[in-house]
Amino acid sequence: MDATTAQRIYLVRYPDGMPTDADLKLESMPMPRPGADEMLLRTIYLSLDPYMRGRMSPAKSYAKGIKPGDTMVGATVSEVMESNLDGFAPGDIVLSYDGWQTHAVSNGKGVVKLDPKAAPITTALGVLGMPGFTAYAGLLEHGRPREGETVVVSAASGAVGQIVGQIARIKGCRAIGIAGADDKCRMILDEFGFDAAVNYKDADFRDRLAEACPKGVDIYFENVGGDVFRAVLPLLNDFARIPVCGRIAHYNDTTLPEGPDRLPQFMGMVLTKRLSVRGFIQFDHLDLLPDFRRDMAAWIRDGKVRYREDIVDGFENTVEAFRGLLTGRNRGKLIVKVGDDPTR
Amino acid sequence: MDATTAQRIYLVRYPDGMPTDADLKLESMPMPRPGADEMLLRTIYLSLDPYMRGRMSPAKSYAKGIKPGDTMVGATVSEVMESNLDGFAPGDIVLSYDGWQTHAVSNGKGVVKLDPKAAPITTALGVLGMPGFTAYAGLLEHGRPREGETVVVSAASGAVGQIVGQIARIKGCRAIGIAGADDKCRMILDEFGFDAAVNYKDADFRDRLAEACPKGVDIYFENVGGDVFRAVLPLLNDFARIPVCGRIAHYNDTTLPEGPDRLPQFMGMVLTKRLSVRGFIQFDHLDLLPDFRRDMAAWIRDGKVRYREDIVDGFENTVEAFRGLLTGRNRGKLIVKVGDDPTR
């Protein structure tokens, strides 16, 4: 790649199950040129998040899907290379939404300048960005934690889960993390300070989860679905809340799972335990964003919230890294380093 | 039956599916005698409600089940026959919870005197009692209706459903009722003033329901489960609320229904549509009782709420009437007339 060439990864066709290299292709293209009132951005970091799998689909979801031929979407941290736009100058570091590409032309809409002195610029994609805000809004608004309650979170070492458990502890709750590897469980305990961590791949997972929750479960922050979800259900206390944030175990489902049909039994439990089940997306809660920014900055400064990032080097590794995200290969918030980081 | 004999219906054994005459037996017993600080009550009306099926089970639910040998529970309107209790005198009409029997001795706990001049005494078991309060608390607290929204209620001609739709209309919503017979649908339209009624036994039920909800569904008040529940799901709007009040289609289930497993798909819909699903029981909302009594009395007085009761004559017909309730044979709030009503 030279100064006249850029690269992008685009959707060739809707994947059937796990996305393959035939579904998502990298191609070179001429370097884009900014026009009047535009600027040229160079991607430094690209965020990879589970929601992106939902975009690779013709099915209606909470956001419009992308079509074959489109560049994959995603949040980016970028450097301004050229600017014909007031307020942005070459060398500025910005948070943008340029997708899976090395360069982009932007009219500045939705672009936010970052202060590299305030926090590492990768945090704008993680703990101080969308994943951190998802944890904050979902737990506080829909989980409504009260002191002394038990909070269980799945995908607990991931970008959202790691923050959920730490906020739960700040709010005086017992935090239990579920993850799919022993080193992830250690990370949950040692780095993030959860009260307990359980590996759902262990044969005695259900017993261990029950042991970790001697007073039952008051909040289950759902990121996963599948067997993990079903294991938590019998432990739920009356009036438990289930903020539904994600269902990564199902994103590659191509058919309805085999029976029996567990939906009636679940609805029976909703009734007798008076459960509150609530799906949410962070962008429905933007009114909480100022509170989030204030609280999270203070918690990080005071050492009450720690975070872990998994940075994969090289744009050409994006698709493989994304597949790893869907199978749990990442350790913490997954980010692709697309180009040089001038702040490090 | 003479003045020395009373009758009761007790649980012989837990039913397997639909309760049979071998599961619930009527027997005669000596007339009970009130002791000091007790009174003798004669049952005039016995309320039959779907929740009673849940009590005939060893499974944990929101209330303790009854055991084989126990008299079936239930709300009653009774006449005081003898009283050794301050505040109650022979001839008083009371709301009590004496269960499936012709007479009961009471210490007055939980017993409320009724004023037969204020309202027909049967209404204490229906529109002004538990079913009316269930509709009120569930719709207002968990449905949170806003003007112009569409409210769908299943079992819409029943004790709870008929009130849900009428309160929805009072709150400026479009009210759609689902029931299982054409005469029930007519009742929903002509007596209760819903905007539309759909018979779920019609072959084109799904199409008709969709036609009745051109702007989608904002609140689905769930009394039924099963096919009706599944038919409503695709019509739900973003941010729809589902107060889960009952699941009468499943109360006699003895096994999990055949697959596919629809729970993952449902949870996917909870997420993408940001649904709010909330089980509730009226007794968790007793703080709303004063508001309910004030509002409902005014609505009935102003003709804004009408009600329909289905009164079955004769205590010996109780078990058969209860089976009819589970299969939709009743027309409105089901009540058994156990003894003479001195107020009519």
pLDDT band at A259 (very low <50, low <70, confident <90, very high): confident
Per the CB < 8 A criterion, the answer to whether A65 and A59 are in contact is yes
Q: What is the rounded distance in angstroms from the CA atom of residue B78 to the CA atom of residue B125? A: 11
Per the CB < 8 A criterion, the answer to whether B243 and B278 are in contact is yes
CB of B247 less than 8 A from some CB of A: yes
CB of B277 less than 8 A from some CB of A: yes
pLDDT in tens, A130-142: 999 999 999 999 9
Q: Nearest by CB to B258, which of A246, A257, A261?
A: A261
Q: What is the rounded distance in angstroms from the CA atom of residue A336 to the CA atom of residue A312? A: 5
Q: Which domain holds residue B36?
A: 5-126+307-337
CB of A253 less than 8 A from some CB of B: yes
* Cα torsion through A141, A144, A150, A155, rounded to 10: -10
Are A138 and A180 in a shared domain? yes
Q: Nearest by CB to B262, which of A263, A268, A281?
A: A263
Per the CB < 8 A criterion, the answer to whether A150 and A173 are in contact is yes
ipTM of the complex, rounded to two decimals: 0.92
The per-residue pLDDT for B205 is: 98
Q: What is the rounded distance in angstroms from the CA atom of residue B261 to the CA atom of residue B264? A: 7
CB neighbour list of residue B151: distance below 8 Å, 6 or more residues apart: B139, B143, B145, B164, B165, B168, B173, B174, B175, B176, B217, B218, B219, B220, B221
| Among B185, B33, B54, B50, CA closest to B103 | B33
The per-residue pLDDT for B64 is: 76
CB of B227 less than 8 A from some CB of A: no
Are B151 and B66 in a shared domain? no
CB neighbour list of residue A250: distance below 8 Å, 6 or more residues apart: A225, A226, B264, B267, B268
Q: What is the rounded distance in angstroms from the CA atom of residue A197 to the CA atom of residue A181? A: 10
User: Does residue B68 fall inside a structural domain?
Assistant: yes
pLDDT in tens, B161-216: 999 999 999 999 999 999 999 999 999 999 999 999 999 999 999 999 999 999 99
CB of A264 less than 8 A from some CB of B: yes
Q: Nearest by CB to A263, which of B244, B266, B275?
A: B266
Is A256 in Cβ contact with B264 (below 8 Å)?
Answer: yes
User: Does residue A134 fall inside a structural domain?
Assistant: yes
From first to last of the 344 residues of chain B, give the pLDDT tens digit. Answer: 568 999 999 999 999 999 999 999 999 999 999 999 999 999 999 999 999 999 999 877 777 789 999 999 999 999 999 999 999 999 999 999 999 999 999 999 999 999 999 999 999 999 999 999 999 999 999 999 999 999 999 999 999 999 999 999 999 999 999 999 999 999 999 999 999 999 999 999 999 999 999 999 999 999 999 999 999 999 999 999 999 999 988 888 888 888 899 999 999 999 999 999 999 999 999 999 999 999 999 999 999 999 999 999 999 999 999 999 999 999 999 999 999 999 98
Q: Nearest by CB to A274, which of B266, B272, B279?
A: B279
Q: What are the residues facing B5 on neighbouring strands?
A: B30
| Burial state string for A287-318 with b = 16 or more CB within 10 A and e = fewer than 16 | ebeeebeebbbebbeeeebebbbbebeebeeb
Per the CB < 8 A criterion, the answer to whether B325 and B246 are in contact is no
Q: What is the rounded distance in angstroms from the CA atom of residue A198 to the CA atom of residue A207? A: 10
Are B326 and B258 in a shared domain? no
pLDDT in tens, A272-288: 999 999 999 999 999 99
Residues of A in contact with B272 (CB under 8 A): 54, 60-62, 279
Q: Nearest by CB to A259, which of B261, B268, B277?
A: B261
Are B37 and B103 in a shared domain? yes
CB pairs below 8 Å between A and B: how many?
141
The per-residue pLDDT for B82 is: 97
User: Does residue B343 fall inside a structural domain?
Assistant: no
User: Does residue A326 fall inside a structural domain?
Assistant: yes
- CATH of residue B159's domain is 3.40.50.720
Per the CB < 8 A criterion, the answer to whether A114 and A97 are in contact is no
Are A167 and A294 in a shared domain? yes
Helix, strand, or coil here: B152?
strand
A24, A69, A281, A326, B168 from A13: Cα distances, Å: 8, 8, 26, 18, 46
Residues of A in contact with B271 (CB under 8 A): 62, 244-247, 279-280
State the smallest CA–CA distance between residue B55 and chain A in angstroms: 12
Q: Say which residue, A253 or A168, is predicted with more confidence.
A: A168
Residue with tokens 């191609």: A27
Is A280 in Cβ contact with B278 (below 8 Å)?
Answer: no
CB of A277 less than 8 A from some CB of B: yes
Average pLDDT, chain A: 96
The per-residue pLDDT for B217 is: 98
CB of A281 less than 8 A from some CB of B: yes
The per-residue pLDDT for A83 is: 98
Are A225 and A255 in a shared domain? yes
Q: Considering chain A, what percentage of its residues have pLDDT values greater than 90?
A: 92
Are B224 and B188 in a shared domain? yes
User: Does residue A90 fall inside a structural domain?
Assistant: yes
CB count within 10 Å of CB B229 equals: 23
Give Cα B143 distance to the centre of its chain. Answer: 18
Residues of A in contact with B244 (CB under 8 A): 267, 270-271
Are B147 and B216 in a shared domain? yes
Per the CB < 8 A criterion, the answer to whether B66 and B73 are in contact is yes
A251 pLDDT higher than 80: yes
CB of B1 less than 8 A from some CB of A: no
The per-residue pLDDT for B1 is: 54
A116 pLDDT higher than 70: yes
Are B64 and B208 in a shared domain? no
User: Does residue A175 fall inside a structural domain?
Assistant: yes
pLDDT in tens, A283-326: 999 999 999 999 999 999 999 999 999 999 999 999 999 999 99
CB of A31 less than 8 A from some CB of B: no
Are A256 and A317 in a shared domain? no
In terms of Cβ atoms closer than 10 Å to its own Cβ (0-12, 13-18, 19+), residue A144 is middle
The per-residue pLDDT for A1 is: 54
Kindly give the residue spans of alpha helices, DSSP state H, lying in chain B: 51-55, 130-137, 161-170, 182-190, 205-212, 226-232, 263-272, 289-301, 318-327
pLDDT in tens, A150-205: 999 999 999 999 999 999 999 999 999 999 999 999 999 999 999 999 999 999 99
Is B238 in Cβ contact with A247 (below 8 Å)?
Answer: no
Show the CA angle centred on residue A235, arms to residues A231 and A239, nearest 5°: 125
Give the number of domains in chain A. Answer: 2
Closest residue, chain A, to B281 (C-alpha): A274
pLDDT in tens, B94-108: 999 999 999 999 999
Q: What is the rounded distance in angstroms from the CA atom of residue A182 to the CA atom of residue B231? A: 43
- CATH of residue B59's domain is 3.90.180.10
User: Does residue B342 fall inside a structural domain?
Assistant: no
- Which pairing describes strands A217-221 and B309-313: parallel, antiparallel, or unpaired? unpaired
A87 pLDDT higher than 90: yes
Are A198 and A100 in a shared domain? no
Q: Nearest by CB to A260, which of B60, B259, B264?
A: B259
Are B156 and B282 in a shared domain? yes
The per-residue pLDDT for B3 is: 80
